[in-house]
Amino acid sequence: MSGLAITALVFGILCFLPAVGLVLGVVALSRMRRTGERGKAMAVWGIALSCFGLLLHLLVLLGGGWDDVRAGVRDAAYPVFAVDKGDCFTTPGGGLAGVTYDVDEVSCAEEHDGEAFGSYRVSGADGAYPGDKAISAEADVKCYDLRSVYAMDLWAHPADVDVYYFTPTPESWKLGDREVTCMFGSSDGKTRLTGSLRNDAAMQTGDQLVYLQAARHLEDALEATPEAAYVEDDLPGHQEWAAEMSEALVAQTDLLRDRTWPQRSASAVAALVKDLDAARKEWDRAARATDADTFYLHYDKGMDLVEPAGAVPSREALDLGTTPPPHLVGDPEDSGDGGAEGDKGDQGGKGGKGNERDNGGNGDGGPGVGAAV
């Protein structure tokens, strides 16, 4: 019995190397004519099945199905997990520190390690892996932008909750992973949360939505504080920031004036607008200050007029949060420090929508200045 004929039949049946089965079948037929070995039928079947396998492989390649085959192999090697906006989940290791290989989705009413509030595609996704620092720096900006959409009222945001994210690693980048998933987790990365933190536009009344949209202008300006911690180190930079604060206050008061407020909140909103108008004048003067002492003089007056306490009556009348975020303080020397920053996890994560992922994140430090938002 021809061993080549048997082997050709086996390769033809298995179909994973059809060209090998075809060659072995042809060689077996040629050899059997000279040696008198048996197995012609097996060689013929091996050739036939191998030809069928070659045709099948060709159709798969022409139809783009090979990508699906590769994806199947990849997913078998790197099991994926999906974390979508609004999902609450636990991790096998408990908490959001280090690498996560899998997550278990649970109800947000139950205890959970994280709550996803958005995702985005990494910039420059068509190029080489940009590195952990570049990806995490982008996440620090984009995740906080997504947070302000998912949880609009910062005053309703718990003090012991920070922002974390799943990011690609060099290994997962090679497999097509380009997605960063942003999530809420406890400040210590270990304590579990209970209840959803979702507080988006759909959950606000019309008056609440306008108020929060107006407040966002000032919030954004506060987060744009100069890098220099002291005015003396960069007076032009602080002047530019003061001008941005003035523009933000104009935008905020315009929105508040254009709204017809219910009787319950009208007087409180009017009082807030009055303070914000006065604050804008001080920020204008700070922007035109010719020395650091003059800047500090108007800065102090401007900050006094936008202290968080000034927004409490209007927020209370609109049934919004009335406890200012703890990172709001009022020291101009701290304006470039960004508050107390939380511990950062290892950046990166494996898998386009999950796979093995590293948990990154940083604390809710904030701009280091207080404001009535």
Length of the chain in terms of residues written: 373
* SS3 label, residue 82: coil
Both tokens of residue 260?
A: 């017809």
Question: To the nearest 5 percent, what fractions of the chain are helix, strand and coil?
Answer: 50, 10, 35
Neighbouring-strand partners of residue 121: 179
Closest-CA residue to 299 (of 214, 220, 225, 213): 225
Closest-CA residue to 117 (of 189, 181, 192, 193): 181
- For the stretch 206-253, pLDDT in tens is 999 999 999 999 988 988 889 888 999 999 999 999 999 999 999 999
Of the two residues 41 and 60, the one the predictor is more confident about is: 41
pLDDT band at 126 (very low <50, low <70, confident <90, very high): confident
Helices marked H in the chain:
3-14, 18-35, 40-62, 65-77, 132-150, 170-174, 206-222, 235-258, 263-287, 292-305, 312-317
Q: Enter the pTM of the model.
A: 0.66
Q: Which residues have CB under 8 Å from 43's CB, separation 6+?
A: 2, 4, 5, 8, 9, 25, 28, 29, 32
Average pLDDT value for the chain: 80
Both tokens of residue 353?
A: 């929508």
Q: Looking at 17-21, 47-51, 93-97, 244-248, which range is the least confident one?
A: 17-21
> What is the pLDDT averaged over residues 357-363?
52
Residues 358 and 348 sit within 8 Å (Cβ to Cβ): yes
Q: What DSSP character marks residue 345? A: P
Question: What is the CB neighbour count within 10 angstroms for residue 101?
Answer: 16
Distance CA 211, CA 28 (A): 84
User: In this predicted structure, what is the pLDDT of residue 169?
Assistant: 81
- For the stretch 16-42, pLDDT in tens is 676 766 777 677 667 777 777 777 787
Residues 56 and 15 sit within 8 Å (Cβ to Cβ): yes
pLDDT band at 128 (very low <50, low <70, confident <90, very high): confident
* SS3 label, residue 129: coil
> What is the pLDDT averaged over residues 99-124?
89
